[in-house]
């Protein structure tokens, strides 16, 4: 059997691959040919480069994932989940209260504003809407 490193560049790829025992199998060769046929349009259109770049990006993400980054991601995840849980509970409680209690009159709504929790919730909603309004306002630079 010839040395695979001694094979010249003018030797066809399949012949060089067949010199190694793992690629000498007919089923392996057929699979490689089928894979090459499927990859040919990606290689010819230089779109396979994008897949390689994506794999490189994923590899860089794994390399950068140190303990501090994992801890920050875990804290962010916990914050998102706890806030979603809190909003879900508040919406469920409010829906149950609205279903049980009669709809208040206009004066009853004004009396509800006297409750500190109602005022705090309204203040939060207004501040939230102010931030959204600020973000949606047209910018001076036209962007």
pTM of the model: 0.46
* CA dihedral over 16, 22, 24, 27, signed as positive or negative: negative
pLDDT number for residue 19: 65
pLDDT number for residue 81: 97
Give Cα 72 to chain centroid, integer Å.
16
pLDDT number for residue 20: 59
- The DSSP result for 36-86, as a single string, is HHHHHHHHHTT-HHHHHHHHHHHHHHHHH--HHHHHHHHHHHHHHHHHHHH
Residue pLDDT, tens place only, 25-52: 788 888 988 999 999 998 899 898 999 9
pLDDT number for residue 74: 94
Nearest to 51 by CA among 63, 66, 39, 61: 39
Q: pLDDT below 50 — which residues of the chain?
A: 1-2, 4
């Amino acid at each position: 059997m010839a040395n695979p490193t001694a094979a010249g560049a003018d030797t066809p790829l399949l012949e060089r691959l067949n010199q190694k025992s793992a690629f000498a199998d007919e089923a392996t060769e057929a699979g490689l040919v089928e894979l090459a046929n499927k990859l040919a349009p990606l290689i010819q259109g230089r779109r396979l480069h994008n897949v390689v770049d994506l794999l490189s990006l994923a590899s860089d993400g794994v390399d950068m994932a140190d303990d501090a980054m994992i801890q920050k991601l875990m804290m962010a995840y916990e914050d998102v989940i706890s806030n979603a849980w809190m909003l879900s509970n508040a919406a469920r409680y409010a829906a149950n209260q609205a279903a049980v209690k009669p709809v208040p009159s206009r004066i009853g709504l004004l009396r509800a504003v006297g409750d500190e929790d109602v005022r705090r919730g309204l203040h939060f909603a207004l501040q939230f809407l102010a931030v959204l309004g600020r973000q949606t306002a047209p910018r001076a630079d036209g962007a």
